[in-house]
Chain A
Amino acid sequence: MGFEVLLKGNNIIRLLEGLAVALKISMISVLISIVLGTACGVLMNMKIPVLKQLLRIYLEIVRIMPQMVLLFLVYFGATKAMGINLSAETASIIVFTFWGTAEMSDLVRGSLKAIPLIQYESSLSLGLSRFQMYLYIIIPQIIRRMIPLSINLITRMIKTTSLVMMIGIVEVLKVGQQIIEANRKTAPNAAFGVFLTIFILYFIACWPISCLSKYLEKKWEN
């Protein structure tokens, strides 16, 4: 089946290190995306005409363009055209953040919009200040709506990191390929075992996050 090649040398450790690279890229991008995305989402909800249009165009671009094209554009395109020297990892974080910020801002915008006007009005008529209204009434409701959605985005980002091997980053999938290549002679059928192991590794990384999302959704059902 090909599992035996994983036991050779430090292959398992290498695979895990590859997974760590993937997780690192996605986690850094997610954190920056949450901050920037929240800011953009709030801006989109304010009625500033030009800004709103710009943010819309940004969102559309991100949605239309495959992440791989963006990766190539930033890593190969920008480095050559502008003479900027980016490491592959930095380039991936830029691309993932660019993508994540757009998606996040749309989630924030949608969640803010879904809060009925009456929630604001009844808070105010109870004498709450604007600050108290956001703190106790609006933001808790937004977070409840957002967390399951943003967790979904996080798992999508982790999965999509498999693309970064295309710009030379040695992440888990690339390590897998290397192991298969190195053992081509002795274990020609290693691909199945190695890729299955990678599949399981991705699953182990994403599953707890999915579970957390389900748990929170259930907890906040009320």
Chain B
Amino acid sequence: MEEILRVNGLSKKYEDLTVLDQLSMSVRSGEVVVIVGPSGCGKSTLLRTLNALESIDGGEVVLEGEVINPGNKNLSRVREKVGMVFQSYELFPHKTVFQNLTLAPLKVMKADKKETEKEALALLERVGLSSKKNSYPRQLSGGQKQRVAIIRALMMHPELLLLDEITAALDPEMVKEVLDVVLSLAKEGRTMIIVTHELQFAKAVADRMIFIDGGRIIEEGPPKEFFEHPRTDRLKKFLHSFSYEE
């Protein structure tokens, strides 16, 4: 499969703190990559640089042959290709669910109104929220908001979807309804990079796991090996911190 994203020697510093340390990776079309790591390891920063929300201090991010960085002139065109869903609910509070979905396609892509509305309805149907079409974000639960946020990103037909700890702020009983949507996207062959702390989910959804610590990739591989036979001590220790043994 063809490569869709390439990250070369990416470095990022906050003052003296090195957040990303010459990190390199690539993602093929249709691949689901799940990134895990201790908090503060740089995984969220990595996702944000992929969407040019963070400046970078070295290296480059290339999406389908185009270099992405915050100084890029065609930034909004590049960003159309990358959808992102964040940890905190980021729906536009003054717009209805339906308007949240259709705003960007209509204004940015100048898409056909009828087609866009049809698509929005179909996606709402798919995530079981047709009845919330005319609701405002504040009338939705956290899980419902995140499902809308996911399909809002899909409305732009992104080549690559970035999910940044999208269930971290949710009540536990709402996590599954959101992750089920992500699983169904994975089955559909969407290219995704997912940062999560839900290891069970990661095991189920990932084609490839990446473990980041201290701004570097420490270990990567297919989920089975990654979880069952971790090679590095750091990953062993990290995975162990999630298990409870009697």
Q: Which residues of A does B touch, CB under 8 Å?
A: 116, 118-119, 121-129, 132, 136-137, 140-141, 144, 220, 222
Among candidates B77, B86, B92, B153, residue contacting A137 with C-beta atoms closer than 8 Å: B92
- Asked if B77 and A127 sit within 8 Å, CB to CB, the answer is yes
Is B80 an interface position by the 8 A CB rule? yes
CA distance A126 to B148 in the complex (A): 13
Is B156 an interface position by the 8 A CB rule? yes
- Asked if B136 and A222 sit within 8 Å, CB to CB, the answer is yes
- Which of B34-42, B101-109, B170-178, B205-213 lies at the binding interface? B101-109
- Asked if B79 and A125 sit within 8 Å, CB to CB, the answer is yes
- Asked if B79 and A126 sit within 8 Å, CB to CB, the answer is yes
- CB proximity to A under 8 Å, residues B94-119: 94, 103-104, 107-109
Is B51 an interface position by the 8 A CB rule? yes
Q: Which residues of A contact B138 (CB under 8 A)?
A: 222
Q: Which residues of A contact B104 (CB under 8 A)?
A: 126-128
**Interface residue SS majority, chain A:** helix
- 28 A-B residue pairs with Cβ-Cβ distance under 8 Å, sorted by A, are A116-B90, A118-B88, A118-B90, A121-B53, A121-B90, A122-B84, A122-B90, A122-B92, A124-B76, A125-B51, A125-B82, A125-B83, A126-B83, A126-B103, A126-B104, A126-B153, A127-B77, A127-B79, A127-B80, A127-B104, A127-B108, A127-B109, A128-B104, A129-B108, A132-B108, A136-B103, A141-B93, A222-B138
Contact with A along B123-136 (1 / 0, CB 8 A): 00000000000001
Among candidates B84, B107, B149, residue contacting A128 with C-beta atoms closer than 8 Å: B107
Q: Which residues of B contact A125 (CB under 8 A)?
A: 51, 53, 79, 82-84, 153
CA distance A137 to B92 in the complex (A): 7
CA distance A137 to B95 in the complex (A): 9
7 shortest interchain CB distances as A-B pairs: A222-B136, A122-B90, A127-B80, A126-B104, A125-B84, A127-B108, A118-B90
